[in-house]
Amino acid sequence: MKVNFKILLLAVLLVVIILVDQWTKHLVHTQFNWGESKSIISGFFDLTYVRNQGAAFGLFHQAPPAFRDPFFVAVPVIAIFVILFLIFKMVSDSLWSVIALSLILAGAIGNLIDRLRFGYVIDFLDFHWREIYHWPAFNVADSSIVVGVCLWFILSFKEPQAKSAKPKA
């Protein structure tokens, strides 16, 4: 894969995912009251305005703000630089590797924008089974990160072509 194609693919995925993420968060932020919930599929899926000051699933949300706030800005910034480094130094021609890393990068940027703007991340996709089993609310950026990480994980089991090609005797 040519470097130009990597950059184009990265740019397109970043723009589309970040725009969709920020647009959906804007709609929730301006159309819902904090904590408000609207049922979309009764007993299964709601749109619920949640302000997440922690990490995934609200981890560390009760940490002291003097630690939590700089930490949750620094970690995504470091991740952004690491992912960009990986994409630009990637020797493989794997379209899927570029997609996986671009998804992770877009999600990290989307949530970082919220942290810088509001001091928290807006979550709103709320899946549950009636009121018995409840998955923590999440957003488009979170979904992008999870899909990218899963794809990257699956790709890590793929044997490199150089190793799989057996020399002829």
Query: For residues 114 and 18, is the Cβ–Cβ distance under 8 A?
Result: no
Which pLDDT does position 163 carry in this prediction?
Answer: 46
Which pLDDT does position 7 carry in this prediction?
Answer: 85
Which pLDDT does position 164 carry in this prediction?
Answer: 45
Active site residues: 123, 142
Query: For residues 59 and 98, is the Cβ–Cβ distance under 8 A?
Result: no
Which pLDDT does position 159 carry in this prediction?
Answer: 63
Which pLDDT does position 53 carry in this prediction?
Answer: 84
β-strand pairing of 45-52 with 133-134: unpaired
pLDDT digits (tens, 9 = 90+) for 81-128: 999 888 888 766 688 999 999 999 999 999 999 999 999 999 999 999
**Ranges of the chain whose pLDDT falls below 50:** 162-165
φ/ψ (deg, to 5) at 62: -95, 5
